[in-house]
Chains A and B, each alone.
Chain A
Amino acid sequence: MTDQQANRSWIQRVYDAATAPKTIIITGFAVLILYIGLVAIGVLVAALTKPPYTILNNWISDLGSSKHTAVPVLYDLACIFAGTLTIPFIFYLERHITPIPQKLEDFPVPHRWAYRFMSMGLLWSLLGSIFYIGVGIFSGDRNVKITPGLGAHDLCSFGAFGGFSLAAIFLGFALVFVRQPLIPKPYNYPLGIWGIIGPITVAVLNLVDMPGIPGPILEWSLLFAILAWIVPLALFTLRHAEKLKEIS
C-alpha cells in the first residue's frame, strides 16, 4: 500500500472499493442475471402454481404476494438484490462522467452542466434503489399500513418507480449533452433521449387514469420502459469497466 493510499479515510476507501471496475463487473453481471432471472422465474412459478397469473391482469407486486404465487420470496429477493447492486453502479457512472479536477492531468474538466445533471441523477437513483429494497422488504405480504390509505409497499413502489424515472431524465440529459466516456457516439443519443422521455412518460400515464388500459399493463410497461433504459446503460458501463480493468 502506498502512502497516498494509506492516508485515505475509510469513507474514501469504501468509495474506491465500491466503484472499482472489478466491483462493477461483479455487481453488474450479478444484478442483470439475478434480477431478470428471478423476475422471469417468479412470473413462471406464479402462472403455473396459482393460475390465472398473467402480466396482463396482475400487478408486478402480486409476485410478492402468497395469494398469487407459491414462492413470493423470489420477487422479494429480486428487488432487494436489484436495489443493493445498482448502488455501486450509479456511483461509478458519476465518478467517470464527472471526475473531480484535482491535478493537471484531470484536464479537460467536464462542463458544469455535467455536475448538475449527475448530482440529480445520483440523488434520484439512490432514492430509487433504496425504495426498491423497500419494495422487497415490505412485499405484498408485508404491506404495513403507514396511514389508513397508504401501505409501506405502496410508498416504496412509488418511490422506486418515481426515483428511477426521474433519474433517467437527468442521466439522459448527461448522456446527450455532455462529453462522457461511457456510451460511445452515436449510441448515447438514442439511449439518452429514451432516458429523458421514455420512463417518465409511462410513469405519468400510470399516475393519470387511462380509460381502457388496465393498471397492471401500465405498471408492467413502466418496468419495461425502465429496463429498456437501464439494461443498455448497464451493458455499456460494464464494457467501460472491462476496459479500465484491462488497462490497470
Chain B
Amino acid sequence: MNEKESWIDRIYNKVTAPQTIRICGYTVLITFFGLIVLGVIIASAVGPYNIVDNWISDLGNHTITPAPFLLDIAVISSGFLLIPFYFYIEKYLAPIPRTPEEIQMSPGRYRMCYRLMGLNFFFNFFGTLGLIGVGVFSEDRDIVDLHFTFSVLLFGSFAIGSIFLGLRISFIEQPLIPKPFNYLVGIYGIFVPFTVAGFALFNLSPSWEWVLFFVILGLILPTFVFTLRHAENNLKMKNKS
C-alpha cells in the first residue's frame, strides 16, 4: 500500500478495483433485470398493466401493481451499483498518470479524452442521481412532482452522456471495447439515445418511454458487458502476477 495515499484515494482505488466492478456488475445485471421483469409479470398478471399503455413508473404504483417496491429496489440499487462502473470507465478511458513510470508507459494522451470523459462522468452521475430519485420518489411517494423531475433528469442525462461516451470510444484508441465493436456501440451512442429522447420529449407517451428505456439499455448493456470483460482480464492478470 502506498503510504502517501489519502483516504479518498484509497476509497477510489477500492471502488474502481476489478473485483469491485465484477461484484457490482453481476449484482446490478441480476437485480435490475430480474426485478424489472418480475415487476412487469406481477403487474400484468394481477393488475391491468401492459407496457404499451402504462408508464415504466406505474410499476412503482400500488394501485396498479401489488409489488411496487420491486421497481423502487431495482432502480435505487442499480443507481448505487452503477457508480463504481462509471468511475472504472473514466479511469481507463481517461487515465491520469500518477508516477513517472505511468507517463512513459502510455505516452499518447489527448485533451479530448479528458473532456469527453469528464462530461460523460457528470452526465452519468446526474443520470444515476435521477435513477435513485425515481425510486425514492416513486409514484406512490410523488411529492411536488419530484418523480417526473427525476425521470427527466434520468433519461435526459443518460441520453446526453451517451453522446460523449460514444465519441470517446469511436474516435480515440481505448482499451475497453475491442474493434470493430467500438464503432458500432460508439456511433449508436452518439446518435440513437439522444434522437429518441428528442422524439420522446415531444411525444410524451408510455410507449415512447419504454422505447427510450430500451434504447438507453442498448448502449449501457454492451458497454457494461465489455467493461466486465476488461475487469475480468485485469483480475486474471493480477492473479497471475
- Residues of A at the B interface (CB closer than 8 Å) are 94, 98, 100-104, 106-107, 109, 112, 115-120, 122-123
Contact = CB atoms under 8 A, between A and B. Distances in A.
B103 A104 contact: yes
B119 A120 contact: yes
Given A101-B97, A101-B109, A115 B103 contact: no
A104 B105 CA distance: 12
B218 interface: no
Interface string B91-112: 0001011101001100101110
Nearest to B91: A112
B109 A109 contact: no
Contacts of B103: 101-104, 106-107
B114 A120 contact: no
Contacts of A103: 103
Contact of A115 (B98, B100, B107, B118): B118
A112 B97 CA distance: 10
A10 to B, nearest CB: 16
Interface majority SS (helix, strand, loop, mixed), chain B: helix
A123 B122 CA distance: 12
Given A100-B111, A101-B109, A102-B109, A118 B118 contact: yes
Given A94-B111, A100-B110, A101-B103, 19 more contacts: A100-B109, A100-B114, A101-B96, A101-B109, A102-B109, A104-B103, A106-B103, A107-B100, A109-B96, A109-B98, A112-B96, A115-B114, A115-B117, A116-B118, A116-B122, A119-B114, A120-B119, A120-B122, A122-B115
B119 A98 contact: no
Contacts, number: 48
Most interface-central of B103, B109, B110, B118 (chain A CB within 10 A):
B118
B178 to A, nearest CB: 25
B118 A119 contact: yes
8 contacts: A100-B110, A101-B109, A104-B100, A104-B104, A109-B98, A112-B90, A119-B117, A123-B115
B158 interface: no
A104 B117 CA distance: 23
Contacts of B97: 101, 109
B233 to A, nearest CB: 23
